[in-house]
Amino acid sequence: MTSEELLAVLAAVGHAQRLRIIAELSGGRMYVSELARRLGVSRPLLYMHLERLEKAGLVAGNLELSEDGKALKYFELAPFDLHVNIDTILAAVRADEAADDAAPSERAGGEAPADRQGPEDVKGKRT
């Protein structure tokens, strides 16, 4: 897990409404309208929170057709076990460093950095 992924998870669980969503879904999967009624929130607001939880990998959504042909979006908890300690943070930072080391140079093509291209005159033009 990179630091970006760790921060996404922490941000996802760092909101009271999202914690309530996780608590409701702990009883099993539920479609959005039912979940919105139970929580007393609008569906658009609920979708915003569910999107954040889904991006963090904490919930999963599936679109299904009911017997009468209505499309229902169901959400359920994804299995997760969240532990935040120094080892978690160090592993995330190391994963970032490994990804940075594996990434191609931003200065491909041999371009010199701007501060090494030559002196500037007083108007900001290269001489």
Residue 105 is predicted with a pLDDT of 56
Would you list the domain boundaries of the chain?
3-92
Residue 42 is predicted with a pLDDT of 97
102 exposed, middle or buried (CB, 10 Å; 0-12, 13-18, 19+)? Answer: exposed
Instruction: Give CATH for domain 3-92.
Output: 1.10.10.10
User: What single-letter DSSP state applies at residue 104?
Assistant: P
pLDDT of 62 strictly over 80: yes
Residue 123 is predicted with a pLDDT of 43
Whole-angstrom distance, CA of residue 31 vs CA of residue 63: 9
For 82-126, what is each residue's pLDDT tens digit? 889 999 999 999 999 988 888 765 445 544 444 444 444 444 444
For 7-61, what is each residue's pLDDT tens digit? 999 999 999 999 999 999 999 999 999 999 999 999 999 999 999 999 999 999 9
Task: Report residue 100 as tokens.
Answer: 């940075």
24 exposed, middle or buried (CB, 10 Å; 0-12, 13-18, 19+)? Answer: middle
pLDDT of 1 strictly over 90: no
